[in-house]
Amino acid sequence: MKTKQDFPSINERPPEGLKEDGTCFRVLVIDDSMFVAKQLGQILTSEGYEVVATAVDGKDGVEKYKELCPNVDLVTMDITMPKMDGITALEQIMAFDKNAKVVMVSALGKEELVKKSLMLGAKSYIVKPLDRKKVLERIAKVLN
């Protein structure tokens, strides 16, 4: 997806996905759409983040998080998924690891869902269609 304004800056700056020690921030992408996983993956890797795994539904996402923990710095979570939705998966991940950093990434923007996710512990809520700049800004902020 093309972004409207996202030009490389004249000044060199380190990719946001790199930590101070030189290793990458590791991201677990949870989305049932192969297209979204690819798109998010491209946005993330272009800025130096590492996508350590992709899960295709909430249940798969929770399992993968439990397996990979503590080697995951951030989770992106879709909401509308088969088998287990993103809100339920968020609840389970937060119950497993209260320090988990989960960012909701959904096409649904209902205020009640945003509030519920944030109250359950999500660090941010991004509404699709994805804007590369906004995604990177929000993620960088969460990982500060």
Partner 1 sequence: MNVVYINPFVATSISILQEVLGGAEVKRGDLGLKPTAVPIMGVAALVGLAGDVEGRVLFDMTIDTALKIASVMNGEDLPEFDDLAKATISELANLITAQVVTKLHELGFHFDLTPPALFVGQKMEVAALDGENVEALIVPLLTEYGKVEINFSIRERV
Q: 34: which 2 tokens?
A: 């192969």
| Touching partner 1, residues 32-61 (CB under 8 A) | 32-36, 38
- Taking residue 36's Cβ as centre, other Cβ atoms within 10 Å add up to 20
Among positions 62-101, residues that touch partner 1 (CB under 8 A) are 80-82
Tokens 């960088």: give the residue: 140
- Non-local CB neighbours of 134 within 8 Å, separated by 6+ positions: 126
Cβ-based nearer residue to partner 1, 101 or 128: 128
Identity of residue 143: L
118 binds partner 1 (CB under 8 A): no
Among 15, 23, 96, 110, binds partner 1 (CB under 8 A): 110
Under the criterion CB under 8 A, does residue 132 sit at the interface with partner 1? Answer: no
Q: Which is nearer to partner 1, 14 or 109 (CB)?
A: 109
Contacts of 9 (CB under 8 A, 6+ apart): none
Residues that bind partner 1 (CB under 8 A): 1-2, 32-36, 38, 80-82, 106-112, 128-129
